[in-house]
């Protein structure tokens, strides 16, 4: 399914037939009106007389010879499935839901990265293209704030009021947050939900990579957004490191971004949404296929081809 509103093509591969039909039409139009080779062996007067008595079709104009190609062209365009979105289309809540995992470990919440983490989460909310989004916070343990919703405004307030005291406990265990996200999506029947982890990279190790691979293996993806924390912002805690987050996104078949450049992550989420919409089983629910209404148009040149000329 390709295209952009208001017109989509449900079966774009049929477009390959269009140039073939056009070339065939040009070839037919440039041909001389032939009689199956009989014109080369028969007397010209006798050959013309056969047309007069109706034993042979009379010579046709180039426009008349194009009628079969016109009919084939309309049919090819109809088979591409031009369509418009249904206004009453159901939401794909159980297909394209995504969870934002926001790191509130001490290195982020008490350092210099909390504002940037909040801004990145808000950016995802505003530019997710209508996908249902949920929010989960984590430090040593994960905590689900909100299940996926198509109304991002309901998540803006919880994100805006986050502070260093929001999450109890210490540590950073992203693997537990990824495991909880995967379990949540499995329980909700989400076919291939996506995870967007916003973190400074603390605690990302082999266990987190394994969880990312598990989510990807189930049809989902894990994308990461790196938060930069100034060295020494929190005494005794290491500075931020984006390298583990790159590895995590690669393991989860997602995209990597930073708080200052979330473009790759947003493009990935948009492409994932379109991949769900490309499911042939959902086309009838999401779109009005206009191709069927083009079939009568193809019959017009067919009827003109069948019309007999008076003698």
pLDDT of residue 3: 46
Cβ atoms of 212 and 182 within 8 Å: the answer is: no
pLDDT of residue 240: 78
Query: Residue 117 is inside which H or E element, if any?
Result: helix 114-126
106-134, pLDDT tens digit by residue? 888 887 788 999 999 999 998 887 778 89
Cβ atoms of 117 and 172 within 8 Å: the answer is: no
Q: What does the block give as tokens for 92?
A: 């794909």
Long-range own/partner contacts, residues 158-163 (CB < 8 A, 24 or more apart): 159/102, 159/118, 159/121, 159/122, 159/125, 159/135, 160/118, 160/122, 162/102, 162/104, 162/109, 162/114, 162/118, 162/137, 163/109, 163/114
The DSSP code sequence of 93-106 is: HHHH-EEEEEE-SH
250-278, pLDDT tens digit by residue? 999 999 999 989 999 999 888 876 555 55
Q: What does the block give as tokens for 227?
A: 């938060």
Q: Which domains does the chain have, with CATH numbers?
A: 2-81+290-306 (no CATH), 93-280 (3.40.50.410)
Strand ranges for the chain from DSSP E: 2-4, 7-9, 82-85, 98-103, 133-138, 142-149, 194-199, 221-226, 253-258, 287-289
pLDDT of residue 223: 96
Output the pTM of the full model: 0.61
CB atoms within 10 A of CB 39: 14
φ, ψ at 267 (rounded to 5°): -65, -40
Alpha-carbon radius of gyration of the chain: 31
Q: What does the block give as tokens for 208?
A: 């987190």
Would the CA dihedral through 5, 270, 190, 121 be positive or negative?
Answer: negative
Contacts of 229 (CB under 8 A, 6+ apart): 107, 108, 111, 112, 113, 200, 239, 240
pLDDT of residue 222: 95
CB atoms within 10 A of CB 272: 22
Would the CA dihedral through 301, 305, 307, 311 be positive or negative?
Answer: positive
Cβ atoms of 8 and 278 within 8 Å: the answer is: no
pLDDT of residue 93: 46
Q: Which residues of the chain have pLDDT under 70?
A: 1-6, 29-42, 46-65, 85-95, 189-192, 232-238, 273-286, 306-311
* Angle 154-160-166 from CA coordinates, rounded to 5°: 105
């Amino acid at each position: 399914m390709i295209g952009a509103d208001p017109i989509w093509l449900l079966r774009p591969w049929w477009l390959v037939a269009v140039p073939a039909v056009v070339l065939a039409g040009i070839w037919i139009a440039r041909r001389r009106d032939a009689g199956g080779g009989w014109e080369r062996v028969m007397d010209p007067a006798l050959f013309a007389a056969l047309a007069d008595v109706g034993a042979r079709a009379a010579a046709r104009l180039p426009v008349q010879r194009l009628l079969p190609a016109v009919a084939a062209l309309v049919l090819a365009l109809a088979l591409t499935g031009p369509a418009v979105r249904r206004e009453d289309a159901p939401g794909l809540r159980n297909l394209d839901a995504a969870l934002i995992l926001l790191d509130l470990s001490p290195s982020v919440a008490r350092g210099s990265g909390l504002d940037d983490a909040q801004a990145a989460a808000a950016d995802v909310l505003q530019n997710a293209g209508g996908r249902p989004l949920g929010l989960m916070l984590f430090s040593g343990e994960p905590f689900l704030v909100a299940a996926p919703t198509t109304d991002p405004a309901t998540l803006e307030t919880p994100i805006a009021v986050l502070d260093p005291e929001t999450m109890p406990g210490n540590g950073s265990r992203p693997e537990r947050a990824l495991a909880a996200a995967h379990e949540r999506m499995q329980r909700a029947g989400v076919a291939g939900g996506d995870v967007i982890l916003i973190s400074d990279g603390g605690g990302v190790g082999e266990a987190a990579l394994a969880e990312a691979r598990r989510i990807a293996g189930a049809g989902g993806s894990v994308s990461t957004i790196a938060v930069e924390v100034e060295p020494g912002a929190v005494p005794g805690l290491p500075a931020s490191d984006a390298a583990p987050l790159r590895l995590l996104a690669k393991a989860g078949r997602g995209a990597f971004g930073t708080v200052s450049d979330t473009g790759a992550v947003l493009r990935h989420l948009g492409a994932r949404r379109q991949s769900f919409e490309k499911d042939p089983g959902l086309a009838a629910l999401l779109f009005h296929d206009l191709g069927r209404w083009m079939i009568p148009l193809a019959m017009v040149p067919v009827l003109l081809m069948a019309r007999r000329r008076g003698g």
